[in-house]
Amino acid sequence: MLNNDAPMPGSWRAALAGEGLAWRPAEERDVAAWADLIARTAEVERPVWFERAADLEQILQSKKNHPAANTLLLLDRGSVPRAYARITKNPDGDKAYGFGCVDPGWQRRGIGTALLGWLSQRTLERFAEDQGREDNEPSPLLRVHMEQQHEHQQRLLRKEGFHVVRYFNEMHRHLDGVPLPDVRLDDGLELATMRPELSEEVRLAHNAAFRDHWGSEPRDEESWGFTVNDPQARPDLSAVVLDRGSGIVAGYQLASHDPDSAVSRGYSEGYTELLGVRREYRGRGIAQALLADAMRRFAAAGMDRASLDVDSENPTGALALYEKMGYSAVNRSLAWDKELSARTADPAS
């Protein structure tokens, strides 16, 4: 059996060993097998999106969420990954995000419970490492996002003390056989294709636009780099709106495209990863112009649909805007939270 050199709360050690599983952090040599595990799980569970090898390679490059401490692979006696978990957290953030999956053939053995235990333990450690928390500060928070269709995973989260705190809608807009909106900007604004030299200004615009949004945290250079350099990022399908007088980025639409989704979903889609408008520029039709431009770019690239996700309680009225632009909800996901304390940690760990 492999050496178990990653911490795991003690009460689950025996259970995992009884299943013939060992654990350690993910490494570059694991990328292909790790991606295979996720693909096997996705083939059964049919998520809207799942990580592929290029995404995992990017994850392993993180400095603030170093994989040696923030990833976990569970491997069988043949050294085949059967489950994984990872955690991300901004150093000054008020929450950590948990991710993971269990090979369909290895589910219902308590492995998912063990992974949630590790995520909880690692969250407590991250808060201690990052902030040196005081007794009167809020409890560390672990957040997990889950598609509504995955009911068995939701049952596990509920059983382990998580509760739903937010709903998000995946929305689609058909591009073929229907007229596309034509939205004009006023003379003081101009629309331009996203280009590398605008990246930092768009990052600052994003942080300004989203500072009043639920759950949002400022993007630092590393997390922003992962966004704009994502393997599926499409700057040619992305655009910014510039103030002609000052050159300030007033708004932006960053798009991506997953070429494999056409096979799994039966249609090709352009996806709006991020859409934002600075507060002082709201009410001038910038978001509408960016969405209309995205639709035309997607359609010209031969895509069938425009898609995006939106917080169902977005304070800027984004949901109503998207519906007005012809988008409709097709899927829903949920954010689950669990507040943690030292009592959450396994005393045997």
pLDDT digits (tens, 9 = 90+) for 166-186: 999 999 999 998 999 999 999
**C-alpha separations of 252 from 25, 44, 313 in Å:** 37, 36, 21
What would the two tokens of residue 98 be? 């948990």
Q: How confident is residue 2, by pLDDT bands cut at 50, 70 and 90? A: very low
How far apart CA 64 and CA 126 sit, in angstroms, is 11
For residue 340, pLDDT over 50 is answered with: yes
- 10-167+335-344 matches 182-324 in fold: yes
Confidence (pLDDT) at 96: 97
Strand-pair category, 141-147 with 96-102: parallel
pTM to 2 decimal places: 0.89
How far apart CA 242 and CA 205 sit, in angstroms, is 11
**Candidates 3.20.20.140, 3.10.450.100, 3.40.50.2030, 3.40.630.30; CATH matching 182-324:** 3.40.630.30
Confidence (pLDDT) at 139: 83
CATH fold for the domain made of 10-167+335-344: Aminopeptidase (3.40.630)
Q: Where exactly are the structural domains of the chain? A: 10-167+335-344, 182-324
